[in-house]
Every structure is written in structure tokens, then in C-alpha cells.
Structure 1
Amino acid sequence: MFSRHRTHSRDATHICDLHFTTGTEHWNLKRHYLPQVKLDSHTLITPVSFTTHLTQTFRNPTPDPLPQLRYTFPLYDGVAVNGYSIRYAGNALRGVVKQKDAARKTYQTAVARGETAGLLEALPAGVFGITLGNVPARSDVVVEITYCGELKHDAGIDGLRWTLPTAIAPRYGDYPGELLESDTVADGGISITVDVDMASSAIRKVQSPSHPIAVSLGAVSTATAADATAPFHASRASATLSLGTAELAADFTLQLLIDDISKPQALLETHPTLPHQRAIMATLVPKFTLQPAQLPEVVFLADQSGSMQGAKNAALISAMKVFLKSLPVGVRFNICAFGSAHRFLWPKSQAYDEPNLQTAMEFVETFAAAYGGTEILPPVKAAFENRLHAAMPLEVMLLTDGEIWGEQNLFEYINSQIHGPGKGEAVDARVFALGIGGDVSHSLVEGVARAGKGFAQFVTGGEGLEGKVVRMLRAAVCAHTWGYEMEVQYAGGSDEEEGFEVVEAVKGGFEMVDDAVAVDEAAPKQAEVSAKPAVKSFYDKDAKLDEKATDPSAADPYAHLPAIETPKILQAPSTLPPLFPFNRTTVYLLLGPESSQRDVESITLRARSADGPLELVIPVHKSALVDGVPTIHQLAARKAVQELEEGRGWLQAATEGEKYASDPRCDEIVEREAVRLGETFQVVGKWTSFVAVGELHGRDAVVVENAETDDEGPPPSDFFGQASVTPGASSGGLCGASCFMSPASVTPGACATPSGFMSPASVTPGALAASGLPVRSSTASTAVMHTLIALQTFSGAWPSTGALYAALAIADPGAVELAGCGGDNAKATALAIAYLETRVPGQRDVWEMVVTKGRLWLAGQMDAAVGEALEGVIREAAAYV
């Protein structure tokens, strides 16, 4: 695992702000940041969730339109991005969630037509990337993003916690590039407003451990003048933060102390547009006491990387002493200090007695945050591999301020140990995580706890660690519970059914009524037909080599996959995590159109423990939509998608041990289900993106993605201004950052050429000669042909590289002018195709399929209305080869 040496945000070289890059090589790459002239953030916190609406205003102060701008920002783990729009020069573009490749193609098509467009994608480690194309000169661009999430439990005050990340206002410290100055003065700064509406629960306290705030009790900021005379509402409050500059030095955190915070709640939401679709969100803070059958082994993993120096390490040492002093007699324990290397106090955990406690206290006193970078996987592996006994529960407590590259490897390891690669192979263990400081990766800390069936906590600024570490320790020594099940109780039906309770049981993410998820290896079921299909001959004298069978993936990239029946009730998380006393837990149920349409009365949660069965019945209440947005549906869908991405979704849980688990297409089946959920409920994930464009003139966008992209989405380096951001080499085949073309210059007519177009099948030496194009000798070197074939990428494109131009013997690529190609990669592809077709026509059987892929890609880069211009572009390219 690679380590990331973290630095304070003042010295960070990767500042998250809207920028473009100029230069063609590493040594002369330069970032140019647009001024963020205004930021407004409004959040509504309800008893079970929050919704945040960010409005960021950027300005293009240059006299030129900007062909491509990029911006990355992190959002905290588990949030559902459910709204994205762009406003500029009186125009408004609303984002729509599509499968990631389809979203990119739609974006590329709009940009190629000269339209302003935007793309919002999920990148690794909880980072989101925005790409804007064709930003008009001297104009403001307003980017609006809406996201919702669960409220976190704050063990320090036994209340709720909400955080707005610093990165939404990234202009803090020195820019690694040029900050463009605006030629006009605008009202800048930051305005953050948080409204709290807790329905019937009174608000006891609203405070911020990170910033000074103004708090108003009894009403929300959106109250009208008529509300001023309304009675005081103890369940409502508003908190505001105003800064005169667009700098936010630390995450903005709000803590809420609410009456009845632990009261179980279950809310049912009816989807406003999907018929017969409902969702339930159940939230509770359990209160129970169980005696563990056997005290566990507790292993503390303490981050001692260089970024822990100073106050953070002093707080960690203090917390570790509280940990050690709070351990109950009878446990076994060990301590590991880690960074780029790690060191355990003992090879194996020792009994908790006075001599060992003293040794441990002395070891903690030596902590000096001098272990270099941050590598978490090795000490976690060592903790599992060196555990004392399989019959003794293992509790791992991770304390860190860091973030790491390859965090997915860490999640997968913990997941394989605790959830097991197969039935009966799981380790009886849990992993808890405490994130320290404002720079900690929430996706890392939350991901570790989720994979480890524990829970996560965070501390920032002047908050004390002690209360939270003690709460974690209490959970760690609590008895393990298992066998979680949920039931949905409906109201009675018709008269003949009076007196009978209607129940649907949910287990493992799918209904026990069906008790399985059917996998149909055939295509979706169709009505049987009596007529037999016509017999085709193995030898058809009229068959042509150039004819291609219809490719269903052109319209549906998942058409080749087996059909899978989705559950009537989809539970997220699919396998319920352990409930810990006094720690907030949330569970979702998506009740599809095939589930019972009766009114839902309650849900019942059951589990088992060494002390016997556990049960809780939670009444279900109907929830009204806020601004018409189905928040519960979107949170449920995001949770289900997140689990699919992490290998613990309902598909993996429902089909464990069945044929599906060994299906070589299982990764694609999982991706298809995540796309279905993302598109249906409009949430962004690993395999879906938001795209905001203008009207597509009544047709679907058809653009094959550029060779520089991959199946995992544009790599983070593309957004961080690395060498891949160069003219012609940017994601999606768009013009590079230094290519300042006017949007007006990219028009459908720009690709038009005179008549004489030829289909791919008609490109023969004779046809080329008749058209006036030069016909090269068929004895031309085949070595060049093989070089070109080797250079072609998976998508069918040829990248614009020195190797390609060297093979084509083109000394000055800049002198090659092809009308309307749309970028250097498109130009390179046209040149390669022209070379193969004109210089080595006798080797057609070798290059034919390669050229067909290239032609399809190149046609996709050009507007659908002028697709016939493809032959004219290739004809122009032939003059250069």
C-alpha cells in the first residue's frame, strides 16, 4: 500500500478550486484558478437526515471562452449527491444521472457542438470531480450542488453532529499556480446557514466546536414575516456563519443536543414520480445491557505518522491513557504504534494486570509521531494474524488522522476477515475507528468501521477525545449479537382478511417470502411462439466479410448479462450491522411496486445474543417530502449502491454460494444493478454520473469515449493538473486546456466537406483513385502497420503522441489541419486510418477490424447530424500520410 504524506491545508499543493491548465509538459504545466466570488450554503437538518444546497459563483475574467475547467471536492462518506445544475449568462442547465459512459458521451457531444456543459463524477476516496466545458468569456458561472446524508451520532455530547467540509471553500493558503484577478468587484465571502427542524423534539443546545456562530432559537431562517407572531417552537433553530472572505480555515462542525435523541423512529416516504414505490428509514439509538460471554482481546492501533505531531499527538496520548485505565479486568490487550512502519508492544496480547498496565503506560509515553508516512494495512493485518485464539472475540481500535492511497485494499482485507469469503469462515472480530483532526479522511474512517462492523467517531479542534474513546471502549467490550432480521407489518386487508396480520420478512437484503434471488441465464422471459426459427446456412454465398452482426451493447452495455430478479423489498445495509448501546444506527427499506401496497404499520427488528433473543417494534409514520425531493429514497439507494461497490450489497449477500458467485460476469452484474439504482433514484456513485447539458435536439448523444479515459472514470491526476492534462490528451478527447477556441467555432457545419463520401466497405484502392486521393504502393512497410495497431487503444482511438507521428513520418504535427475533428486525438485517429487504408491496402484483412473500431470512435467524436463528413476528414488526412 502506498502512503500519503499529509500536509496542512496551508501548504497543500492540490487546492480544490475551479481551474484550467496550460502547458504541454510536466515542467511547464501551470494552473490558472478562477476567482470564487461567492459561496452560499444552506442546510436543513431534520430528525433523521440533512440536506445541503451549495451555491458557488465563479468568474471567468478573461476575454476568451474557456474550453475546459476542472474542480474536485471531497464530500463526507455516505452522502447522496442528488442535484447538480449550472447557471450562466441567463441560461440554466439541470443535471441528470446517467450511466457513467453515457454521461461522458452526452457531455462530449454538447461540448463538440460548442455548448456549455457540465459533468459531475464520483472519484475514489469520497472525492467528486466537476468538469465544465465551453465557459463563456467575462461571465459568472454558478454551480449548484445538492446532497443529503444521515446525521452522525456524537458520543462526546450524546447528541447529533453535522459537518460542512473545508473544501467547499478551498481558497485557503497559497495557490500552486495563478489566481486570476477579476476586473469587476462582486460581493464575495461565505454565507453558511443551518436550519434545524426537529418536529416534536425540543432542541436543548446548538453549538460549534470549530467556528463562532450566531444561533436563533424558535424559528428557521426561511420563516416568513407572518411567522414572526407565531408561537415559539422549541423544536426549531437556525445557526449562521458569515465570513467576509472566501476562505474557510477548518471544517465547519455543528453539534446538536436534542430531546428524545434515542427514541426509535421509522419514517415512510412515497415517491412523487415512481408509481407504487415507497421507502422506509428506521433510526434508533439502542439502550440495552448484555454481559459478554467471554471478555475480548483488545488491540489499539495508534497513528504515529509525522502529521500527528503537536496537539493531536498530545490528545492521542491522553486518550490512550484513558483507554488503558478503563479496560476491564479479564481482557487481553496490545498496543501498536504505526506509520510507514509499525511496532507492537508485545508479539502477542497480554493479560490486563498491573505490571502490564504499567508497561503499556510507559510505551504510550514514548509516542512522538516519528514514524514517517501513513500505512494502515500492515498493522491491521498483523492484528488479525497475531490474535490469541479463534474462540476469543477480537476488538481492534484504530486511531488516526490520516488518509491513504488504496484505501479500498484495506476495506477489502477487513471485509474478508470479518464477513468471510464464504459461509462459516468469518472471524469473530469488530473494528472501530476514531478520526482525529480536520484533515482526516472521512471515507477512510467510516469505511474501516463499516467493513469492520464497528462504528466511527471524529474529533476536531479543541474537542476532547476521552468521552468518545470511552464510548468506543464500552461498545468493544459489549457482548456480540448476531442473526439480525427485519419484518414489515402491514395493515389488514379486505373483510375476509380481517384479524390476520400481513407480514413480509426481510433478511439478508431480500424478502424471505421468495427466499432467493432468481438468476435467469436466458434473456428476459418472452412469450412462447409456435413457429420455429428459420434455419441459417453455414455457407451463404451472398454473405459479405464486411457485414457485422447487430451489437446489442451499442444501446445497452449490459445486454449480454443474465437477467436477475430484483427483490420486492430491498434492505440497506443488506446485512444489518451490530447494534451498539447508545450509538445511532440507521436502516433503509426500498419497497418496490411488487411489494404489498397496504399501509405499513410497523417494522420489527430481531437479533440473537448469548443472553437470548432481542426484539424491537418501531411504529412507522408517514413522512412529507421537503421541496418535492424523495430524500429517503435517495439515501436508501446511495446506501445500497455503496454496499454494492464495497462487495457487501444485496446481490453478493443474496447469492452467496450460488452459481452467481462464480459467474465470471459477476462484477458486471453488480455494476448493472448499481446503475439501475443510481438512474432510478438519481444519485451519483462509482458507475453513474451527473451530466448537465442543453437540449440534444431530440436525439441521444452518440460519442465513443476518448482513449485517455478508463472504466474507473477519469483518474484523479486528470483533475489535479498532472501531465495527462495537455492539449489533445485530456479526458474524453476534448481540446486541451491551452487550446482556447471560441465555442462559436465548433459548429456542426465545421465538419462539412464536398460530396464524394464513401462507406467503410467501399474504401478500396480503385475507389480512392477515382476520388482523387493518392494511392500508395501495397508494398509499403508492414512494420508501420503493426506499430499503428499496437498504438491503438481499447476504445478504438489513436492518442496524439510522439510515437504515432514518428511512425507516420510527420515531423510537424501542428501543421496538420483537419476541419472539425474536435481535438488532437481525433486528428491522430484520422491520420492512422488514412495511412492504413492508403499505404497498405493489400493488408486489409489484417487492419480491417482495427480500422472499423477507429472509424466508429471517430464518427462518435463528430456530431451525429454530420456523420457523413467522416470520409471527407479521412480524405483530408490522407494528404498528410
Structure 2
Amino acid sequence: MADSPHGLASQDANGSTVFQPLKSVAVRATVIDTSAHVIVTQTFQNTSASEARYIFPTPANAAVCAFRMQTSGGRAVHARVKELERAKEDFESALAQDKWAGLLQEVAADAFVMSVGAIPRGEDVSFVITYVQELPQDESVKQIRFTFPTFVAERYGPLPAPLQGASSQSERATLSIVVDARMTSPIERIHSPTHSIVTTYATPNVPSLSAIVTLDNTARPPSRKDFVLSIQADAVASSRCVAEVDERRQSVALSLTLVPNLAQVAIPAQEYIFLLDRSGSMQEDDRIDFAKAALQIFMRSLPAENTRFNVVGFGSHSVPMWASSRPYTPATLDYATVQVDAMEADMGGTEIQAALQDAISSRSGGMPTSIFVLTDGKIWHTNRVLSFLHRHVSAAGSASAIRVFTLGVGDGASTELCEGLARVGNGICFMASFSEDIAGRCASLLKAARVLPSGNLHNLSIEWGHGHVHPSSLLQTGRDIVSPDVQQTPSSIPDLYPDTRIVLSAILSQTTAIPPTVTLRGLAPDDRPTNMTFPVQDVTQERDRLLHVLAARRLITELDDGILSAFDSSDPVAHARDAKAAIVRLSEEYQLASRYAAFVAVDETDAGSTATSEESPVKEEKDGHEAGSDSELEDDSSSEASYKTAESSPREDEEEDEHPQGLSNGANGAANGRRTSETTSSTTPPAHQSEGVGPPTRVPSSSPPVAYALSHSRRRTALGAAGEGAIMFIANSFVLLVQYL
């Protein structure tokens, strides 16, 4: 797949595959604190195709919440989420009537396939996908990591049926990326380890709360390399809780960010097993050497006493260094060092489930085990591996507990597998590109593995201030699936680790009352109760679905993992059936793509009409603030289909502006209903130097709604208030992002 031509893949009259070239990919991301709202516009040149398919990547934790098709002639169609088989039927029915239609379907948590039929001939076509996500922690707890995956690499295992004949992103397409970063404390550093960037700060030469990042158009962008951006700010490392009210649903969504300062209690004795991916894909870009360097760091940093360790190389089969773990001594370390140096990526496929089975079965027993997986994660059907691991982790017990820590290696690595292994394995995950320092990530992973999870606390729970927390997102009453009073995700508090940020969500049903506080409860070693209470900040706005959407996405992920226990686990068939029904209900209610629900778009207008779907029921849903309605920012992005590079193609009307639209400049920017920017000189950077090649350039205007600028002005004013300034700024930051949806 990776070596084939690229574009919309279609079949000609002779049955040969024809590719309609991908012309451009425009990415417009808004980063607010630890969340991101991303709009991706992919434009294809259509010369002859009538039906075609295309595969593209997303981050595994992304909630894909909008899909729109549009032509260069002005026709636009918005999609709705329906149960997968119904969506397919609607799509096929539209094709039979020669109606322009699209189907956006999840084939993996980090890969989607788009099928399009009756494509208007002679017009370029654009597909606009919108998603929101919680951004993962980068190397430090003060850093967030924004990644835009640029291609779907070849993966091991049977190809999912929807991918037969699909193509991936073109290396020849024009890529433009604009990231609007807005933090709740001064930005200390912005840098990209993968691409040359230009950073324009809102307040040059002094600490700034916001910045615009674009690709440097003087540098040739690397091919087949994911775009990674790291942003550092103190407030990212702070615990906080925010909430929003949905009047229509009569519900409240809460998001609790925890960065706990817990006692670090070393595990007295532990076994460490390292799984090194030696499959053929690890030959690409010398991934195996990168992984081996990380493994050497791990091995040389293990505790000197009461430690056992082993190394398992895996590909189509597994090869352990020893039949069972050996004591950690200078002699065994020297032997392992020599053996690891000689390892090559020469073991064929990626049978990671068998490797995990071998590692678990070879444990010495009587002590906890930490399994470290170093892989590019390139497999299909990840859910089978995660289900297998979840069963074994759950059955291990506390005395012989199993935890899994992952290091994702290289560009195109599967976040679905790497993050999933850590999620169900009660560990943490770091992704690493080849241009990043691997030592810090190894140190963080090993630091977490060496201490008791959650410090010396146990029996952790959260009191959300509303009813009973049920261990599932849904309850079964007869043949009906209903929501409990409190839907919490993760349903069980995950292990807490030093210098690690986690986010927990809850949806409170049948209420619009926001609790004043939420409380994390636990027991100390002597079983004394201990509590941590967090004030709740209301971030509700008219379009109030951001926190609901993110919470629903996490609930779907838990159902996919098989972790939630709402249904009768004694009947696996019934359990799977009911979990599927629950996923469909959440997907349709919150308009989220999932394994069992897809976006379907059908053009019901005449071919010569330029009417958009705003004349269709979609607009009626928007007026009612239906979940999944298209956002103001998503609607505004329609112009992005035409621009090629964010840096070199400012709009003509921008030249007439005294202040180009960019970053807000206080009340002046708000009064004009637009943002103003100040660029830093390459010779006089601010104290937090922008990183990249070449001088800063003007950011193209994007005509944000007036509410955008007004909200930003309120945020800056709130900073000057005494006492509650930081809390108000956090609140208004979420308000800003909510308004986009």
C-alpha cells in the first residue's frame, strides 16, 4: 500500500486502478490548554472518476465529529452519523440513483477510509474532516504534544475489507498547517522535532499566552514524516476541573485533569520484561537501531537489587533471551548488552499477541511484572490484542500485578496499538520520532514502572456530586439501553504516576446543576481516608458539546476495549451484542464516527444547484444545537480548500487590512471583530525563542466569528483580576474552543 500511487483510488472500464491525484492537505488546528480542535481539508483533482476510495490517518484518541464534501463549483454536502449498516445502505442507494454521496468509516481507531460515489466530473472535490482530542503529554508534564499523522504505513495482518483498493496520502500533495496555540499561562517554548516552523507570538519580546505556528515555506517539508509540535507552559501541569451544561440533553459533562503530587514508594522487588519488535517494518529508517538504543538505556537504568529481567525479540515468532527472567547482575547485563547489539529486524511479521503471551507465561511469579514494548505498532485488528491483554492484566492480582509501558517508534507508528497497550495495561505510553531525544522518555517510563501506582493510596474513587457512579456507560433495562446517573470514564480510576497527567470525564444525566466541587477519595496505607477536592469551573456556552463529545469518545473507547461491565459477562455473545448497541447509541447521539457507526453524506440537490446542506435538515439540527452539528469554525474552513500554502498565499483582502488577522490584540482586536497579529523578527526573538528556519511570515486571515475575538478579549481582561485570574482564564479558554463546535 505504501509504495502504490496515491489519490482517490477508482477502477476504470478495464478493471485497472486509476488514481485521482491528491492536490493539497490543509490543516487548521486550534490548541486550547490540553485540547485541540482540528479541521483537515483534503482536495483532489477529479479527471474521470465516478467512484473512489481513500484512506487517511488520525490520532487514535481523536473524536471525529464532522464530515463535509464540497466541489470547486460550490456544491457542499454535510454528513450525518448512522449505524454502519444503515449508513452503507444509504450510500449504496444514493449511488444507484447516481447521487453524489460519501461514506466515512473507521477501520481502526487511527485510520479511516472514505468512499465516494457519483463524483461530479470536471470539478475538484474537497473533503473536510473535523475532530477534537485531548492532547497527550510530551516528555515533561509541562508539555503537550500535538501530532498530525501524514500517512498510513503498511501494517501486518489481514487487510480490513473496507481498505481493499483504497489509497493513502500522496507525497506530492501540498501540505499546509496552521496551529493556533492558546495556553492558560505564558508559553515557555514551542518547537517541532520533525519540521521547520515559523512561530508568531501575540506579544513579542515578552512572555506570551498565545502564538500562531505555521510550516516554514522556505524549507522543503520531509516526506512520510508525521508533523509533531511540542508546547510547554506551566499551567499544563496543574490539576483542574471544568464543566458544561447541555440544556437539550439535560446533562452536565465534567473534565477533571489530575497531576497529583503523590508519595513515590519504590517497589521492593520487580521483574522487567522487554519486548523488542524485530519485524520487517523495523528496517525502515533504521527503526531497529533507535529501539535498540532505547532498550540499552532501559537495561542500564534498572534497580541494582531485587530485580529480574528478560528480553524477548518478536516478529512472526518470539525469541526470548532466556527461558525465564534472570537476576540483574553485571554479568547478565553484559551478556544482554552484547545480544541486543547483534539483533536485527529480520523476523518477518508482527505477531505481538503471541509475544505478549510468551512474556506473561515466562514470568517468574511472586512479584510484580512491568512489560516494556518497543514497537512501531504496525498491525491491523488491534482490538484482539487489547482484549487478550486486558484479560491477563485483570486476572494477575495485586501481588503479581502486570503493567505494560510502551514506546512507539518512528513516523507512521500506530497510536491505536501503542496507546491501547498502555491503557489496558495500566501503564503509560510515549511516542518518539527519530529526531527526538529518547533518553528522557525512557527515564520517564522507567520512573513510573519503579514505583507503586498511585503512590501509597488505594481504593481511589471520584465523587462527582450527583448520584451513583455506575461501572459502565450504559444500563440494560429489558430490551432498552439507558444512561445511568453518572457515566464516568475511565470507569475505574487508572493508576496514577509521578509527573504524569491524566484526564477523567463524567456525564451527569437528568440534571443541569453543576456541582461546586468534585472530590478524589482514597485510603492511606493505614486505611485512613484521604481526600483531594477540586473546584468546578463552568465553561458552558451556547454551543456546549465539547466536553460531552470528548467524554462520549472515551466511553466508546472503553466499550471497544471490553473494559466496561454493564452487561452479563457470562454470555460473551450477548455482551458483545449489547456493547455494540451501546457504541451505536453513543455514536448517533453525539455524532461520532466509531467501529459500528459511520458518516454518510448524500447530495439531494440538483446537479446544477449550488445550494449547500444548510437547506437540509442539518441546519435544523444546528439551530437546535444538535450534537454533531457543524461548527462555526468548521463552516468557515470551506475557503481552505483553495489555498495551497498557509505561508505564501495570503488572501487579497488581507492586503487592505491595517492589521492582518492573526492573534488578538486586546480590545482593539475585539472591537473590529477580528484578531490582529504581531510577528517577531528573526533577529530579535522573544525571551522564549521561536524555533524554525527563516523569518516569520504573515498568517492568512480566516474570518473568525466576532464571538471569537470578543471571547479572547474577555480572557485577557480576566488575567488582570486578582485571585481568580488563572481560573477565569482556564474557563474562557475552554469557552473559546467550545464556540468552535
TM class by smaller structure: 0.7 to 0.9
Distance 1:157 1:506, change over 3 A: closer
Residue 571 of structure 1: CA displacement? 0.8
Residue 610 of structure 1: CA displacement? 4.6
1:39·1:191 contact (CA, 8 Å) conserved in 2?
Answer: yes
1:71·1:131 contact (CA, 8 Å) conserved in 2?
Answer: yes
Stretch of structure 1 that moved more, 208-217 or 333-342:
333-342
Residue 155 of structure 1: CA displacement? 1.8
Residue 466 of structure 1: CA displacement? 1.2
| SS class of match (1:486) | strand
* Equivalent AA in structure 1 for residue 60 of structure 2: D
Instruction: Tell me, yes or no, if structure 1 residue 265 matches structure 2 residue 255.
Output: no
Instruction: Tell me, yes or no, if structure 1 residue 602 matches structure 2 residue 517.
Output: yes
Report the equivalent of 2:471.
508
Aligned residue among 22, 34, 37 for 2:20: 34
Instruction: Tell me, yes or no, if structure 1 residue 201 matches structure 2 residue 185.
Output: yes
Residue 379 of structure 1: CA displacement? 1.8
- Looking at both structures, which has the greater relative contact order when contacts are Cα pairs under 8 Å and sequence separation is at least 6? 2
Instruction: Tell me, yes or no, if structure 1 residue 312 matches structure 2 residue 287.
Output: yes
Instruction: Tell me, yes or no, if structure 1 residue 130 matches structure 2 residue 104.
Output: no
Distance 1:281 1:616, change over 3 A: same
Distance 1:240 1:508, change over 3 A: same
Residue 112 of structure 1: CA displacement? 2.3
Report the equivalent of 1:78.
61
Instruction: Tell me, yes or no, if structure 1 residue 643 matches structure 2 residue 558.
Output: yes
Cα distance in structure 1, aligned partners of 2:616 and 2:209: 50
Aligned residue among 570, 574, 577 for 1:668: 577
| SS class of match (1:570) | strand
Report the equivalent of 1:54.
40
- TM-score normalised to structure 2 length: 0.74
Residue 484 of structure 1: CA displacement? 2.7
1:194·1:238 contact (CA, 8 Å) conserved in 2?
Answer: yes
Residue 662 of structure 1: CA displacement? 2.7
2:224·2:411 contact (CA, 8 Å) conserved in 1?
Answer: no
Per-residue CA deviation, residues 316-357 of structure 1 (Å, 9 max, x unaligned), is 232222212211122221111222222222211122222222
Residue 374 of structure 1: CA displacement? 2.1
| SS class of match (1:135) | coil
Distance 1:565 1:307, change over 3 A: closer
Cα distance in structure 2, aligned partners of 1:624 and 1:233: 29
Residue 18 of structure 1: CA displacement? 1.6
Per-residue CA deviation, residues 49-71 of structure 1 (Å, 9 max, x unaligned), is 10100112212123xxx431111
* Equivalent AA in structure 1 for residue 575 of structure 2: C
- TM-score normalised to structure 1 length: 0.62
Instruction: Tell me, yes or no, if structure 1 residue 632 matches structure 2 residue 547.
Output: yes
Report the equivalent of 1:681.
590
Residue 696 of structure 1: CA displacement? 9.4
Cα distance in structure 1, aligned partners of 2:257 and 2:141: 18
Report the equivalent of 2:452.
479
Stretch of structure 1 that moved more, 402-411 or 608-617:
608-617
1:70·1:131 contact (CA, 8 Å) conserved in 2?
Answer: yes
Report the equivalent of 2:666.
none
Distance 1:323 1:699, change over 3 A: closer
Cα distance in structure 2, aligned partners of 1:43 and 1:159: 17
Instruction: Tell me, yes or no, if structure 1 residue 431 matches structure 2 residue 413.
Output: no
Report the equivalent of 1:408.
383
Distance 1:610 1:468, change over 3 A: farther
Cα distance in structure 2, aligned partners of 1:154 and 1:609: 30
Distance 1:39 1:330, change over 3 A: same
Per-residue CA deviation, residues 294-326 of structure 1 (Å, 9 max, x unaligned), is 322111111222333464333323222221221
Per-residue CA deviation, residues 747-782 of structure 1 (Å, 9 max, x unaligned), is xxxxxxxxxxxxxxxxxxxxxxxxxxxxxxxxxxxx
Residue 388 of structure 1: CA displacement? 1.1
Per-residue CA deviation, residues 638-672 of structure 1 (Å, 9 max, x unaligned), is 111111122113xx2x44xxx56437433222111
> Paired residues, what number?
588
Gaps of 5+ in 1: 1-10, 171-175, 180-186, 220-227, 490-502, 511-516, 522-561, 701-881
2:144·2:232 contact (CA, 8 Å) conserved in 1?
Answer: yes
| SS class of match (1:632) | helix
1:328-727 matched pairs, under 5 angstroms:
328=303, 329-389=305-365, 391-420=366-395, 428-481=401-454, 482-489=458-465, 504-506=467-469, 508-509=471-472, 519-521=476-478, 562-592=479-509, 594-595=510-511, 597-608=512-523, 610=525, 615-625=531-541, 628=543, 630-649=545-564, 652=565, 654-655=566-567, 659=568, 661-662=570-571, 664-695=573-604
Distance 1:699 1:178, change over 3 A: closer
| SS class of match (2:33) | coil
1:671-820 matched pairs, under 5 angstroms:
671-695=580-604
Per-residue CA deviation, residues 486-521 of structure 1 (Å, 9 max, x unaligned), is 1023xxxxxxxxxxxxx54535347xxxxxx86443
Instruction: Tell me, yes or no, if structure 1 residue 326 matches structure 2 residue 326.
Output: no
Cα distance in structure 2, aligned partners of 1:246 and 1:692: 33
| SS class of match (1:261) | helix
| SS class of match (1:403) | coil
Cα distance in structure 2, aligned partners of 1:374 and 1:599: 48
Residue 247 of structure 1: CA displacement? 8.1
Larger radius of gyration: 1
1:95·1:691 contact (CA, 8 Å) conserved in 2?
Answer: yes
Question: Among the aligned pairs, what percent are the same residue?
Answer: 29
Per-residue CA deviation, residues 272-294 of structure 1 (Å, 9 max, x unaligned), is x6342221111223332332453
Report the equivalent of 1:298.
272
Residue 614 of structure 1: CA displacement? 5.3
Residue 405 of structure 1: CA displacement? 3.4
Report the equivalent of 1:492.
none
Distance 1:23 1:449, change over 3 A: farther
Per-residue CA deviation, residues 623-648 of structure 1 (Å, 9 max, x unaligned), is 255x9362211111111111112211
| SS class of match (2:380) | coil
Per-residue CA deviation, residues 591-623 of structure 1 (Å, 9 max, x unaligned), is 22x24x333212112344657565432221122
Cα distance in structure 2, aligned partners of 1:247 and 1:112: 42
Report the equivalent of 1:850.
none
Distance 1:13 1:30, change over 3 A: farther
1:5-154 matched pairs, under 5 angstroms:
12-13=2-3, 17-22=7-12, 29-62=15-48, 66-88=49-71, 89-124=73-108, 126-154=110-138
Report the equivalent of 1:281.
255
Per-residue CA deviation, residues 772-815 of structure 1 (Å, 9 max, x unaligned), is xxxxxxxxxxxxxxxxxxxxxxxxxxxxxxxxxxxxxxxxxxxx
| SS class of match (1:193) | strand
Cα distance in structure 2, aligned partners of 1:169 and 1:479: 37
| SS class of match (2:99) | coil
Per-residue CA deviation, residues 115-147 of structure 1 (Å, 9 max, x unaligned), is 211111111353211111111111121211101
Distance 1:666 1:430, change over 3 A: same
| SS class of match (2:235) | coil
| SS class of match (2:50) | strand
Per-residue CA deviation, residues 121-177 of structure 1 (Å, 9 max, x unaligned), is 11135321111111111112121110111111112685111100112999xxxxx99
Q: CA RMSD in A?
A: 3.2
Distance 1:611 1:349, change over 3 A: farther
Report the equivalent of 1:833.
none
* Equivalent AA in structure 2 for residue 282 of structure 1: L
* Equivalent AA in structure 1 for residue 378 of structure 2: E
Distance 1:193 1:624, change over 3 A: farther
* Equivalent AA in structure 2 for residue 646 of structure 1: D
